[in-house]
């Protein structure tokens, strides 16, 4: 079945920010602040200048991608169109629904990319080649 999500479904989610003199807290609660339940958290850090990450798709996984420190750019591709998002604030997250190809690039020095994911790690959920991704989307090459 062709994936029904498109890049228009990839949205920046404005999270809360509890602020006082001694700093900020941002809280992310399952199904309250984000539209899925988190099963896994991981973070990318110490990314060398000029490197990019991602370059794959997921069949079913949903993610919220956040720049908890520094900045980077996330490019989402649904096989027909692409859209880029600059993440540079720790109280915004990019919601990536299933079936999107993503690239993460332009990491600032010291950037930390926090990913909240709807599922456990499963290599079988990855679409590692762009051709497989297009087939999954039902898009002719």
Catalytic residues, by residue number, are 56
Residues 50 and 96: beta-carbon distance below 8 Å: no
The stretch near ligand TYD (CB under 6 A) out of 1-9, 14-22, 49-57, 131-139 is 49-57
- Name the residue nearer to ligand TYD (CB basis): 29 or 121: 121
Q: Tell me the closest approach of the beta carbon of residue 16 to ligand TYD, in angstroms.
A: 26
Q: What is the DSSP string of 87-110?
A: E--TTEEEEE-TT-EEEEE-PPTT
Structure tokens at 60: 């079913």
Residue 52 Cα distances to 19, 35, 47, 73, 126, angstroms: 33, 27, 8, 9, 17
- Which of the residues 100 through 129 are near ligand TYD (CB under 6 A)? 121
The stretch near ligand TYD (CB under 6 A) out of 11-19, 38-46, 74-82, 129-137 is 38-46
Can you give the binding site for ligand TYD, defined by CB under 6 A?
A: 40, 42, 44, 53-54, 56, 121
């Amino acid at each position: 079945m062709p994936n029904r999500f498109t890049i228009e479904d990839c949205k920046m989610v404005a999270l809360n920010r509890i602020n006082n003199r001694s700093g900020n807290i941002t809280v992310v609660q399952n199904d309250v602040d984000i539209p899925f339940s988190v099963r896994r958290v991981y973070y990318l850090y110490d990314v060398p200048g000029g490197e990019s990450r991602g370059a794959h798709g997921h069949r079913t996984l949903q993610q919220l991608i956040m720049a908890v420190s520094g900045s980077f750019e996330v490019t989402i591709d649904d096989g027909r169109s692409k859209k880029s998002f600059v993440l540079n604030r720790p109280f915004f997250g990019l919601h990536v629904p299933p079936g999107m190809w993503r690239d993460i690039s332009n990491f600032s020095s010291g950037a930390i990319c926090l990913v909240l994911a709807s599922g456990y790690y499963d290599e079988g959920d990855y679409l590692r080649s762009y051709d497989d991704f297009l087939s999954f989307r039902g898009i002719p090459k």
